[in-house]
Amino acid sequence: MKARIHVTLKNGVLDPQGKAIEHALGNMGFDGVEAARQGKYIELDLKSTDRAAAEKEVDEMCRKLLANTVIENYSIDLE
């Protein structure tokens, strides 16, 4: 089973890298960008075939290492 994890900064947390991307796109002439936020994408290959167990385990991985919940949110897709 594959787990696809997105880690993003919480709303209200300043994202200077996102801002820099937004400005760079603007400078390149892409004037349709209202805002950019940068995050992380992590892909895991799991041994588990039990979806519920995998979901629980990946959630724990996110809380304990993959995301810093002081500043970040995460979402998990299993397939």
Partner 1 sequence: MKSAVIVFPGSNCDRDMAVALEKITGTKPLMVWHQEYDFDKVDFIALPGGFSYGDYLRCGAMSARSHIMKEVIKRAEAGVPTFGVCNGFQILTETGLLPGALMRNANLHFVCKDVKMTVENTDSMFTSTYAAGEEITIPVAHHDGNYFADSDTLDRLEGEGQVAFKYAEDINGAQRRIAGILNGKGNVLGMMPHPERMIEPALGGSDGRKLFESVMNRLG
Query: By CB under 8 A, is residue 68 in contact with partner 1?
Result: yes
β-pair partners for 77: 4
Alpha-carbon gap, residue 18 to 39, rounded angstroms: 9
Nearer residue to partner 1 within complex by CB, 11 or 49: 11
Q: Which long-range contacts (CB under 8 A, 24 or more apart) does 49-54 make?
A: 49/1, 51/1, 51/78, 54/1, 54/3, 54/78
Phi, psi of 4 (to 5 degrees): -115, 120
Q: Which stretch binds partner 1 (CB under 8 A): 26-34, 43-51, 52-60, 63-71?
A: 63-71
Query: By CB under 8 A, is residue 20 in contact with partner 1?
Result: yes
Site for partner 1 (CB under 8 A): which residue of 16, 29, 34, 43? Answer: 16
Query: Footprint of partner 1 on this chain (CB under 8 A)?
Result: 13-14, 16-17, 20, 40, 64-66, 68, 70-71
